[in-house]
Structure 1
């Protein structure tokens, strides 16, 4: 039996490989799926850590029970066994289990196996994560966004997606994926000719050959990224905090949108977003029941020095062409209230607000609409800026300290300082916003700054022209280091080789 290269890659990505049954040798039966034991097809991942545990994710190639063992060392001496549910085709073979009862502030080794209904078990796959601490200690958090976009997928000539290996070698405690975890609207071709004549090569699977519209096609976007060895190894080495942006569904989408794109037969974005939402939660280490509305926005406490507030700037936003009036929404009233209340309750020294869209960068959607918060009018807050103004005013009025905004989206890296002294709107305390990306996608930028909240671009590293490939050095991630003794925060902006491009030290609140 012969499988084309593309067919082989597709079946490998799905964890299923058809082989001839024994009966085929005598000219009888059609090929059958032979699985002597269940298989973990796409590695393992941990997410949304707490002081006593984390969410563990895995995928099986057939119905099987998820088993997780946890221990203090990689020898798994005196391991604790946690039994999860049955992984079935209803969830594309994926499943997750929140493990609890673990010590705080410790490195946890975990070992995942699958148990079939006949008692056969899979080969184990191992990983590590650190539980949230109960006492002050050093914390290293990385963040970035935008994976396998603009036609740049897994390239075997450069070892796949090497930025994930670079990040893993720095041994972070947490990784914040700031959105565009996949590019469901970004089909890949096997070769891309770059402007200077070089050839970019992609591994291509069937789901990555066209825009995603069906549930299985959305699932295939996540399966594709996890065929990269660097990505799988990174997933198994650090606890994640994931959020979504637009490309998990379709570029620049908003609720209620009807597409005018020839490549889509399903024009209703709400239908596409529902399928994308399901695939997102199936394939990532996030438990929707632990998020507000069972969706995305949630608080991740990580000890006395750090709380992370994860925003959803996609689900509740208004139309992009409406971002010019006296009022607008990118979070919605309920999420805005939630963020203000959560920030008020937080006692952590540092409060990271994880935003999937930047605050002050103008991100156009065509000639007259705006994708993000800013709308190009440097005057008083209007449109979606009104919600951000309300949040900033509440932070000042309530004496909330230590807020830092982290974001991605625009495919370059930058450090923005916001000050009322430079702003049209002045009812807020100065703060920093740090931008980082892409992880593995086309490089763009820089974008114009909107003066409403007085931003200054203290540092920018952006390509000289649009859509430069990952070969050209404009791939980025950011890193936050909190010193457990001094409580000082240092924010580094790095390129995909791990070289530090910019550093900013922030003193802890008095």
Structure 2
């Protein structure tokens, strides 16, 4: 995207872009702050990109919106004036807002793409709330969120969906259209929220031609802002965000295909230039997702791995398997790492410190061993997976087993396929214990229409006795967790090349409390 109006270089202080009152309003998200000036008269609806909430805690949640009266304006600024704009927000106990619980003002600054991320505290645990924003006379759509249960509480159930890989060029967001009807407590998004280029796609989902400056590859902040605007303009994605809180991480396409660590994935790219690109991509990601202040990037670095407790029913541990990846000298290199030493130790410590019945790990790339060749004399592995970091994977799964993690479930994206696989401490030992279950969920739209089964899938099942299911349709996974079991439903659509496809449950798998491994329901 070679677009005009490139953003100027800004310091860290200007990057934050807050006045003292604005900083408090945005970072803390509570209290009704007096704006230094009234909201300017805008030329249209500023809420074209929708609303969202995320990272629910027992007494708080982060809200999000980004103002854009012209979301595809060439400079990436959404047609907004170059000034801070006060954005009022309300949180209510009912959809009609007859009982407003919290209200405040956050300042949308041009330095952060006129996005706001108010963190609202003082809420009751384990209940629904409704929220909305206002700028001048314009009022946003209403969103619904839900706080996490109180610490120590054992809820009867938890319902969440997990999804990934929603390339705009891949097809329609019909899966999100159906996800809205699931009445979920949470959506877990495992990465590839955007793709860094159009891959030849020239129209939006309604068939309208896109401007030429939005048809190339993203390299700077303007490009990435426009790409997020394209994705977030989709009505089904907006509705899914407004229906419940989201918990997100990233994979590779939020920056560039197959990047890892300091590697720009292209040998002809200057590493210093790549770090600048990474900084711009992470800033655009923060501007466009319901992330807390703790997830604000610092240049090319961001802390995205984190935990979210859902009472003592479940802990969600979100991993970052991109930022800390090391180079490796073969699959069995003892020094190679997917997570980096600190994150790996943090993950292992969580195995012991968690008091939750279910430990659910949000993971970007498949963890279980997956031999792509059914010939027993030939081994063929995916390079972008935990199969490239065998020593670290075996260490993590062995630690989970030795620390007596009874109910380990890894939910994974990236692969544009549905898999169910046993997690084993050592795949080279036939009687190695089953430590947990990995559920790999398919893409929302990446890979176009897909298929129920492909010849390659038959080979996977033949080569991997610990694989229990394989499917190549589009959709998402719906997961229901109770104290006694975890049930995963693979929700699939027959096509994404056209809108309004029906949805069905292709298969369901059950993990029983205290029994590692899944069985088909």
Alpha-carbon deviation of 1:395?
1.0
Secondary structure (helix, strand or coil) at the match of 1:74 reads coil
Over 3 Å counting, the alpha-carbon distance change for 1:191 and 1:218 in structure 2 is: closer
Does the CA contact (< 8 Å) of 2:63 and 2:117 recur in 1? yes
Counterpart Cα distance in 1 of 2:462 and 2:392: 16
Partner Cα distance (2:291, 2:341) in 1: 24
Distance 2:383 2:193 in 1: 22
- 1:87-98 correspondence runs (5 A): 87-98=108-119
| Aligned counterparts of 1:92 and 1:178: Cα–Cα separation in 2 | 24
Query: Given that residues 180 and 244 in structure 1 are in contact (C-alpha distance below 8 angstroms), is that contact kept between their aligned partners in structure 2?
Result: yes
Aligned counterpart in structure 2 of residue 297 of structure 1, from 283, 305, 310: 305
CA separation of 1:347/1:265 partners in 2, compared to 1, >3 Å: closer, same or farther? Answer: closer
Matches within 5 A, 1:67-466: 67-114=88-135, 120-134=136-150, 135=153, 136-148=155-167, 151-152=169-170, 160-190=172-202, 204-206=210-212, 208-260=214-266, 268-289=273-294, 294-319=302-327, 323=331, 325-360=333-368, 370-375=383-388, 384-419=389-424, 423-424=428-429, 429-442=434-447, 456-462=466-472
SS of 1:49's equivalent in the other structure is coil
What whole-Å deviation, never above 9, does each CA across 1:153-201 have from its counterpart, x for those lacking one? 5xxxxxx422111111111111011110100134442379xxxxxx995
Given that 2:397 and 2:423 are in contact with CA atoms closer than 8 Å, whether structure 1 keeps it comes out as: no
TM-score with structure 2 length normalisation?
0.76
Q: Residue 118 of structure 2: SS of its match in structure 1?
A: strand
Q: Measured at CA, do residues 286 and 320 of structure 1 come closer, stay the same or move farther in structure 2, by a change above 3 Å? A: farther
Secondary structure in 1 matching 2:89: strand
Asked if structure 2 preserves the Cα contact closer than 8 Å seen for 1:362 and 1:450, the reply is no
Q: 1:211 to 1:475 in 2, by over 3 A?
A: same
CA distance in 1 between partners of 2:371 and 2:104 (Å)? 46
Which SS does the other structure have where 1:433 is aligned?
Answer: strand
Q: How many residues align?
A: 436
Match of 2:484 in 1: 487
Scaled by the length of structure 1, what TM-score is found?
Answer: 0.77
CA distance in 1, matches of 2:271, 2:399: 41
CA distance in 2, matches of 1:41, 1:321: 48
C-alpha distance in 2 between matches for 1:251 and 1:38: 34
Equivalents in 1 of 2:277, 2:233: separation in Å? Answer: 24
Q: Mark the CA change 1:280 to 1:266 in structure 2 (over 3 Å): closer, same or farther.
A: same
Task: State the alpha-carbon separation in 2 of the partners of residues 233 and 182 from structure 1.
Answer: 17
Query: Would you say the 8 A contact 2:351–2:403 is kept in 1?
Result: no
Match of 1:57 among 64, 81, 92: 64
Assess, with a 3 A threshold, how the Cα gap between structure 1 residues 35 and 488 changes in structure 2: closer, same or farther. same
Distance 1:112 1:277 in 2: 25
**What is the CA–CA distance in structure 1 between the aligned matches of 2:237 and 2:432, rounded to whole Å?**
43
- The whole-number CA distance in structure 2 between the counterparts of 1:208 and 1:426 is 53
- Deviation at 1:279? 1.0
Task: Summarize deviations over 1:322-342 as a string: whole Å, max 9, x none.
Answer: 655333111011000001112
Which blocks of at least 5 consecutive residues in structure 2 are unaligned?
Answer: 4-39, 69-79, 373-379, 494-501, 516-521
Q: Secondary structure at the match of 1:414?
A: strand
Partner of 1:27: none
Q: Pairwise CA RMSD of aligned residues?
A: 3.3
**1:47 matches 2:54:** yes
Tell me, in whole angstroms, the C-alpha distance in 2 between the residues paired with 1:395 and 1:186: 41
Between the aligned partners of 1:423 and 1:201, the Cα distance in structure 2 is 51
Write the distance in 1 (CA, Å) between the matches of 2:414 and 2:398: 25
1:479/1:493 contact within 8 Å kept: yes
Give ranges in structure 1 of 5+ residues lacking alignment.
1-6, 8-32, 115-119, 154-159, 193-198, 376-383, 463-473
Deviation (angstroms), 1:85: 2.7
Shift of 1:390: 1.4
